[in-house]
Structure 1
């Protein structure tokens, strides 16, 4: 996946955020990954859940498989898509986006879905921590750029 694809230009070749956005940063890809976190799904199931145009869904599924985020296997006459290890690793990013949305994309009292643990309890707020476990912010971190 990290190897350069023929004709592929990275937005910012040395930045992990930029490469991730290049791979899964469009809205449909992230929503497909979000829905795949509910378990294996067929093309038809993704189409029904998302209401996405069939040609766009086909393109995004192909790219997610090509990038090793989804795998596909036959199930009867259909193919079923499911997350690979790399796809499952996006769980924390999806939760972070969800929690940001809960704080900034809804008004107070506006209905929204909830993500809970197996016992139905809300998840703790995700916050990055340093090597020693202390919270870190944009004010206490820096990016070491490649020169």
Structure 2
């Protein structure tokens, strides 16, 4: 990057500093699915143990995951999503939906069923007018320069 480069300020970039790496999002996926213990998370993500330990610590420090002691001898912990962590389930649902449409259109490996009983088909819309982001969101604020 040139010395005079001035990266755009952006909450996307800030969020990616915490969750923009494969193992972090897969950890969150497992917690959404109800897997709480280190060994289960390691097995289901395929993450090397040292990397998984580092990612769990980073997510805990960021307030996305919290640890709860379930065994004192030896000390063992379960991991749980905080409210901020649960909000990322929306991101995972949209990401999975994109992957189903563009990467696995004939046979998605996982399907989510909504509480209404139908297959979940997430969409991001404006809370005011109900129209999708792609219909015309315009960036404003200090990071919105062109």
3-state SS, counterpart of residue 43 of structure 2: helix
Shift of 1:13: 7.0
Query: What is the rounded CA distance, in whole Å, between the counterparts of 2:35 and 2:100 in structure 1?
Result: 26
Name which of structure 1's ranges 27-36 and 38-47 shifts more when overlaid on structure 2: 38-47
User: Displacement, 1:68?
Assistant: 0.5
Normalised by the length of structure 1, the TM-score is 0.81
Whose helix proportion is higher, 1 or 2? Answer: 2
Q: Which residue number corresponds to residue 5 of structure 1? A: none
Q: Give the match for residue 140 of structure 1.
A: 136
Instruction: Write the distance in 2 (CA, Å) between the matches of 1:120 and 1:35.
Output: 22
CA RMSD in angstroms, aligned pairs only: 2.1
| Deviation sequence 1:58-84 (CA, Å, 0-9, x none) | 110010001000000100141110100
Uncovered stretches (5+) of structure 1, i.e. residues with no partner? 1-10
Aligned-partner SS, 1:113: coil
What are the Cα deviations for residues 4-34 of structure 1, in whole angstroms up to 9, with x where unaligned? xxxxxxx957311111111101000000001
Extract unaligned runs of 5+ from structure 2: 1-5
Q: Give the 3-state SS of the residue equivalent to 2:128 in structure 1.
A: coil
Give the Å deviation of 1:140.
1.1
Q: CA deviation at 1:130?
A: 5.3
- Classify the secondary structure of the residue corresponding to 1:48: helix
Determine helix, strand or coil for the equivalent of 1:81: strand
The corresponding residue for 1:41 is 36
Q: Check conservation: 1:130, 1:136, Cα contact below 8 A.
A: no
1:121 corresponding residue in structure 2: 118
Q: Distance in 1 between matches of 2:118 and 2:78?
A: 30
Query: Higher RCO, 1 or 2 (CA under 8 Å, sep at least 6)?
Result: 2
- Cα deviation, residue 120, structure 1: 4.3
Q: What TM-score do you get using the length of structure 2 for normalisation?
A: 0.82
1:74 matched residue in structure 2:
69
